[in-house]
């Protein structure tokens, strides 16, 4: 047998042995062990190797996973219920979905290096606005069920918390109802209250309902309007291409899933949900919103609007806790609409509708009862005790129907359905399909008056589409070009072998509600992964359901709430949160019905233990939880972690551990051993799921045994209290993490050590040029560090923004800006970045400090220097006239690397933030904007 010369660990970890030696020398320690002993408090150290299988090679891991997944049985799904078979256009599959230029990008906070994905997200918003008829749409929520719950949140806040009833018109899908109930309970919101009155905050119209039927809800909508309640439509976006918009029917808000716009079912996710609102509700809208703005030269450019609100998630006044959402999948959905255009979408929708009507008419003709008279794609059939038998018969022909109850079975058609399917399904009921079915859609047929924007008409040929996707990707700076040193985000390698299983048909095409016997492989993989994550974090059980870190926080706090309640202590509702916490923490606490009490941090960035003690004492009788991030968002290992947990426990509280920074802990220490009761893990940080330009994410939680009974369940698994639409959340991307852990095994510890080494190396190189705001014992940081840039501002007027934008000229994505401290940069190099790339970043930051000195000394005027003018575009640098006091070369190639480096050119210069916030209404900019810009 031959052995590969390099293990996967060598592929994942950037610095080689010689680099590690050089980095240790620079830091001034003899070994990695010595550094880790200095940085990580002994009191929390795990003194044994992780109990994980020995590392497998890429080929071996793929082989094992493929064997496991071969136990999945993929039949053609007619289950529907929010999840539909799709044909992912190959041009999108290859050039977007499986393209690192798209999937390794970060959330587009730095607008100048994100114009490509911002444009595609703007397309998404335009698409949603056009389909719903509502003026403002956000760039994606997590799934349909949570989007419906977010819409309820908008309605409650719109009524300033003075109304608490939600009425239903038509029965929502079971998982949507499950999530609505979960989200309503802690906030005392009543769902399905009898009738509509002046305490009703909103009416939810399921359009169509869970049986696929469009009911007549005119009277309910009118009643809702008469008492000023908001009207929320939950609709299938594909159906909207051939019928009246929800806005024209009275909707104030519309939500739904964009899954069937070319995103595979993937056993439940990830997919993007949409949310559109009327103008008066814009500022209450959850998630991100792309706005059109102008750059420093007046050219059009996109940016995330209302960004300050989004980044801070407004703490306890949060609009929602959504941070990482589903950008990559929203981009796929938008690309699907760009590819098919309105006529193509209508063609697909009409074909599906004809199949459904063909079945319904055929069944009726044969005397078989079907529910309702108006439908889009789903036919629900009354079969008196025979539902299961008919579904079993359908399975023999490789088709899955939905058994609603003993007497009802439903059939949902999708773009993969054929005439042959229709015939075979009709035959199951002893009927023949009718070929010439007429439309049974409600409302008026849509003409061609929607999606008139050029982008939805210009990309019919694959050459055009391929180039469009390439053009957008080229505008952006993703991990496939350069390091993305974003603190608290862990932008590490997303290895190709980890990504491959996501596209396997026996993963991608599984319906989340397929019979359990059909998903044994993926369930086994999930169970194994849960076990590994439990071992890594020191917990008794793990659930994969939360589909982002924020949702993990929420699920964890609900578990804590459930635990207190089970002990007759439901009055415990105070949640202590350190001032340095990420905005999702207080937002999640507020959603879980808790009141936030802020705990101070000391000047050196640690939790102020005295303040914690005082607040825990003061709120002892009502203390529910402490949420704390470790190592802290200040980038240091606090010494008092165990003491912190003990204080909270002594007062009857539970410890919620925000695991966003697990990349500093894996293999070295475990939250469960430190004293946490529950912890979320951001698999899209530490465990290699790519960031996708702002999602997908996965936020599983680990819990101690006493919290296990309070974990989320799911209606499709025979329980309830779901926090996500699908029982295993974003199941199809879990193989990424499985592959990572399988290929690293106990060597995960080395990854952590190198991540800490890299951050400390950075501090050693940059410490003389910037002050490092917080350090732990012996002057060491954890896996990230915060550089204070305020001194440059004091001396030269150069702001943290100027530095971030100037880094673009050097070919870098800026570090995390002004979080958790204003005027600072938080840098996290990760273990995957080679030493040469970390050195390049250090050199750039040192050169920028020198440039600021030139401004300070008056060599360059404060209003005209390469920092305030950054970033520089080709148009400016090549312009005939050059009036600046620095050269074109200094502008564009500040590192002097022009001979060897492929230069990243930003497509726009600095974007005007204020203008972006003024332009929130969606509709694609006319093409003339671009041609003017190019002139
Ligand atoms: C410390 C911390 N906690 C929680 C979160 C929320 O995670 P997500 O964005 O997956 O919802 C983040 C995200 O960046 C974070 O940095």
Dist. CA 660 → ligand 1 center (Å): 6
Fold of 535-731: 3.40.640
Contact 123, 455 (CB under 8 A): yes
Per-position b or e across 369-406, b if 16+ CB within 10 A of its CB: ebbbebbbbbbbbebeebbeebbeebbeeebbbbbbee
- 47 φ/ψ angles, rounded to the nearest 5 degrees: -95, 30
- 60 φ/ψ angles, rounded to the nearest 5 degrees: -65, -45
Whether pLDDT at 78 is above 90: yes
Closest-CA residue to 117 (of 128, 126, 131, 106): 106
Give the pLDDT confidence score for residue 192 in this predicted structure: 87
* Model confidence band, residue 448 (pLDDT cutoffs 50, 70, 90): confident
Q: Average pLDDT for residues 268-283, to the nearest whole number?
A: 96
Dist. CA 661 → ligand 1 center (Å): 9
- Mean pLDDT, rounded, of the chain: 94
* Model confidence band, residue 603 (pLDDT cutoffs 50, 70, 90): confident
Give the pLDDT confidence score for residue 417 in this predicted structure: 98
Beta strands in 67-220 (DSSP E): 76-77, 136-137, 165-169, 190-191, 200-207
Whether pLDDT at 928 is above 70: no
* Model confidence band, residue 193 (pLDDT cutoffs 50, 70, 90): confident
Whether pLDDT at 914 is above 90: no
d(C-alpha 439, C-alpha 437), whole Å: 7
Whether pLDDT at 194 is above 60: yes
Say how far residue 716 (Cα) sits from the centre of its chain: 23
Atom of ligand 1 nearest to the CA of 551: 11
Could you tell me whether strands 165-169 and 190-191 are parallel, antiparallel, or unpaired per DSSP bridges?
Answer: parallel
- The finding on whether 633 has its CB within 6 A of some atom of ligand 1 is yes
- pTM metric for this prediction: 0.97
d(C-alpha 443, C-alpha 201), whole Å: 26
Q: pLDDT, tens digit, for every residue of 276-318?
A: 999 999 988 888 999 999 999 999 999 998 665 444 355 556 6
Give the pLDDT confidence score for residue 773 in this predicted structure: 92
Whether pLDDT at 758 is above 60: yes
Dist. CA 242 → ligand 1 center (Å): 39
Question: What stretches of 784-912 show up as alpha helix (H) in DSSP?
Answer: 790-796, 800-809, 835-856, 874-877, 888-892
Dist. CA 657 → ligand 1 center (Å): 12
Q: Average pLDDT for residues 168-192, to the nearest whole number?
A: 97
- The finding on whether 410 has its CB within 6 A of some atom of ligand 1 is no
Equal fold, 100-336 vs 535-731:
yes
- Please choose from 288, 628, 660 the residue to mutate so as to test ligand 1's pocket, defined by most ligand atoms within 8 A of CB: 660
List of residues 6+ apart from 273 with CB closer than 8 A = 140, 141, 142, 143, 144, 146, 147, 255, 256, 257, 258, 326
Q: pLDDT, tens digit, for every residue of 816-875?
A: 998 888 899 999 999 999 999 999 999 999 999 999 999 999 999 999 999 999 999 999
- The finding on whether 549 has its CB within 6 A of some atom of ligand 1 is yes
Give the pLDDT confidence score for residue 634 in this predicted structure: 87
Whether pLDDT at 108 is above 80: yes
Beta strands in 450-545 (DSSP E): 541-543
Which of 435-449, 740-754, 880-894 is least confident? 435-449
Give the pLDDT confidence score for residue 931 in this predicted structure: 40
**What DSSP line would sit under 151-180, residue for residue?**
HHHHHHHHTTT---EEEEESPPPHHHHHHH
* Model confidence band, residue 580 (pLDDT cutoffs 50, 70, 90): confident
Contact 824, 790 (CB under 8 A): yes
Q: pLDDT, tens digit, for every residue of 626-673?
A: 999 999 888 899 999 999 999 999 999 999 999 999 999 999 999 999
Largest Cα–Cα distance of the chain, in whole Å?
90
Dist. CA 490 → ligand 1 center (Å): 11
Say how far residue 599 (Cα) sits from the centre of its chain: 28
Give the pLDDT confidence score for residue 309 in this predicted structure: 46
Dist. CA 462 → ligand 1 center (Å): 38
Give the pLDDT confidence score for residue 386 in this predicted structure: 98
Give the pLDDT confidence score for residue 927 in this predicted structure: 39
Give the pLDDT confidence score for residue 821 in this predicted structure: 87
- Supply the residue whose CA is at minimum distance from atom 16 of ligand 1: 488
Which position has the higher pLDDT, 880 or 898? 880
Whether pLDDT at 93 is above 60: yes
| Residue count of the chain | 935
* Model confidence band, residue 515 (pLDDT cutoffs 50, 70, 90): very high
CATH of 100-336 given 3.40.190.10, 3.40.640.10, 3.40.50.300, 3.40.50.720: 3.40.640.10
Give the pLDDT confidence score for residue 838 in this predicted structure: 98
- Please choose from 326, 488, 489, 578 the residue to mutate so as to test ligand 1's pocket, defined by most ligand atoms within 8 A of CB: 488
Q: pLDDT, tens digit, for every residue of 1-17?
A: 456 778 999 999 999 99
Whether pLDDT at 601 is above 60: yes
Whether pLDDT at 695 is above 90: yes
Whether pLDDT at 901 is above 60: yes
d(C-alpha 587, C-alpha 582), whole Å: 9
Beta bridge partners of 301: 293
Q: Dig out the tokens for 919 from the structure.
A: 């332009």
Dist. CA 304 → ligand 1 center (Å): 18
Give the pLDDT confidence score for residue 419 in this predicted structure: 96
Domain ranges within the chain, ordered by starting residue: 100-336, 535-731
Q: Dig out the tokens for 158 from the structure.
A: 């719109």
């Amino acid at each position: 047998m031959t052995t590969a010369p390099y293990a996967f660990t060598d592929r994942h970890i950037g610095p080689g042995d010689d680099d590690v030696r050089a980095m240790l020398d620079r830091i001034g320690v003899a070994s990695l062990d010595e550094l880790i002993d200095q940085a990580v408090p002994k009191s929390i150290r795990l003194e044994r190797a992780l109990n994980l299988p020995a590392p497998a090679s890429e080929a071996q891991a793929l082989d094992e996973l493929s064997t496991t997944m071969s136990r999945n049985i993929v039949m053609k799904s007619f289950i529907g219920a929010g999840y539909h078979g799709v044909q992912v256009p190959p041009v999108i599959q290859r050039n977007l979905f499986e393209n690192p230029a798209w999937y390794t990008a970060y959330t587009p906070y730095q607008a100048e290096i994100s114009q490509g994905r911002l444009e595609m997200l703007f397309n998404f918003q335009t698409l949603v606005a056009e389909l719903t008829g509502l003026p403002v749409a956000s760039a994606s929520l997590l799934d349909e069920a949570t989007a419906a719950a977010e819409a309820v949140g908008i309605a409650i806040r719109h009524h300033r918390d003075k109304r608490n009833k939600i009425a239903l018109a038509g029965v929502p899908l079971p998982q949507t109802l499950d999530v609505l109930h979960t989200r309503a309970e802690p906030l005392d919101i009543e769902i399905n209250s009898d009738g509509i009155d002046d305490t009703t905050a909103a009416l939810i119209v399921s359009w169509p309902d869970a049986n696929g039927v469009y009911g007549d809800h005119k009277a309910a909508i009118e009643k809702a309007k008469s008492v000023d309640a908001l009207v929320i439509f939950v609709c299938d976006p594909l159906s909207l291409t051939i019928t009246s918009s929800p806005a024209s029917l009275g909707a104030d808000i519309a939500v739904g899933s964009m899954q069937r716009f070319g995103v595979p079912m993937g056993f439940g996710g990830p997919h993007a949900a949409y949310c559109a609102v009327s103008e008066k509700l814009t500022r209450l809208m959850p998630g991100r919103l792309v706005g059109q703005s102008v750059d420093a030269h007046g050219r059009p450019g996109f940016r995330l609007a209302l960004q300050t609100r989004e980044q801070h998630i407004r703490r306890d006044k949060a609009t929602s806790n959504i941070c990482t959402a589903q950008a990559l999948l929203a981009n796929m959905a938008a690309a699907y609409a760009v590819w098919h255009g309105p006529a193509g979408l209508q063609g697909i929708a009409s074909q599906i509708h004809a199949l459904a009507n063909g079945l319904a008419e055929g069944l009726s003709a044969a005397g078989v009862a079907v529910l309702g008279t108006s439908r889009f794609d789903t036919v629900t059939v009354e079969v008196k005790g025979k539902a299961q038998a008919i579904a079993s018969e359908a399975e023999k022909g490789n088709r899955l129907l939905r058994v609603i109850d003993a007497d009802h079975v439903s059939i949902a058609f999708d773009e993969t359905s054929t005439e042959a399917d229709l015939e075979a399904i009709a035959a199951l009921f002893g009927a023949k399909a009718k070929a010439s079915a007429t439309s049974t859609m409600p409302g008026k047929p849509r003409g061609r008056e929607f999606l008139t924007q050029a982008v939805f008409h210009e990309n019919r040929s694959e050459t055009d589409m391929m180039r469009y996707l390439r053009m957008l990707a080229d505008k952006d700076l993703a991990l496939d070009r350069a390091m993305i040193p974003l603190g608290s985000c862990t932008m590490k390698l997303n290895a190709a072998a980890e990504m491959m299983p996501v596209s396997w048909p026996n993963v991608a095409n599984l319906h989340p509600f397929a019979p359990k016997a059909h998903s044994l492989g993926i369930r086994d993989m999930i169970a194994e992964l849960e076990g590994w994550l439990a071992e890594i974090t020191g917990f008794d059980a793990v659930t994969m359901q939360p589909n982002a870190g924020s949702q993990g926080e929420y699920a964890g706090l609900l578990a804590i709430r459930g635990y207190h309640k089970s002990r007759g202590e439901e009055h415990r509702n105070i949640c202590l949160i350190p001032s340095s916490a990420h905005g999702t923490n207080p937002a999640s606490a507020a959603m879980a019905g808790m009141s936030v009490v802020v705990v101070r941090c000391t000047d050196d960035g640690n939790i102020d233990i005295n303040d914690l003690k005082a607040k825990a004492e003061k709120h002892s009788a009502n203390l529910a939880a402490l949420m704390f991030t470790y190592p802290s968002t200040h980038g240091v290992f606090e010494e008092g972690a165990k003491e912190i947990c003990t204080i909270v426990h002594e007062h009857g509280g539970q410890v919620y551990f925000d695991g966003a920074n697990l990349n500093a802990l894996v293999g070295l220490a475990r939250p469960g051993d430190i004293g946490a009761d529950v912890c979320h893990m951001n698999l899209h940080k530490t465990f290699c799921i790519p960031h996708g330009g702002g999602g997908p994410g996965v936020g599983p939680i680990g819990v101690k045994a006493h919290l296990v009974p309070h974990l989320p369940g799911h209606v499709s698994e025979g329980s309830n209290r779901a926090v996500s639409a699908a029982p295993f959340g974003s199941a199809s991307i879990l193989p990424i993490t499985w592959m990572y852990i399988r290929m690293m095994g106990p060597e995960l510890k080395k990854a952590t050590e190198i991540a800490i080494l890299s951050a400390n190396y950075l501090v050693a190189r940059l410490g003389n040029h910037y002050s490092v705001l917080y350090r732990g014992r012996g002057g060491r940081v954890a896996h990230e560090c915060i550089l204070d840039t305020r001194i440059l501002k004091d001396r030269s007027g150069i702001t943290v923004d100027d530095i971030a934008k100037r880094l673009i000229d050097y070919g870098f994505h800026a570090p995390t800006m002004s979080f958790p401290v204003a005027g600072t940069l938080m840098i996290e190099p990760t273990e995957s970045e080679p030493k040469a790339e970390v050195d390049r970043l250090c050199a750039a930051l040192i050169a920028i400090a020198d440039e600021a000195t030139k401004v300070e000394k008056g060599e360059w005027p404060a209003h005209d220097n390469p920092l305030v003018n950054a970033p520089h575009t080709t148009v400016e640098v090549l312009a005939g006239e050059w009036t600046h006091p620095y050269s074109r070369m200094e502008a564009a190639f500040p590192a002097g690397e022009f001979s060897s480096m492929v230069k990243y050119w930003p497509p726009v210069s600095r974007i005007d933030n204020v203008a972006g916030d003024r332009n929130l209404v969606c509709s694609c900019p006319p093409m003339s904007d671009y041609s003017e810009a190019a002139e």
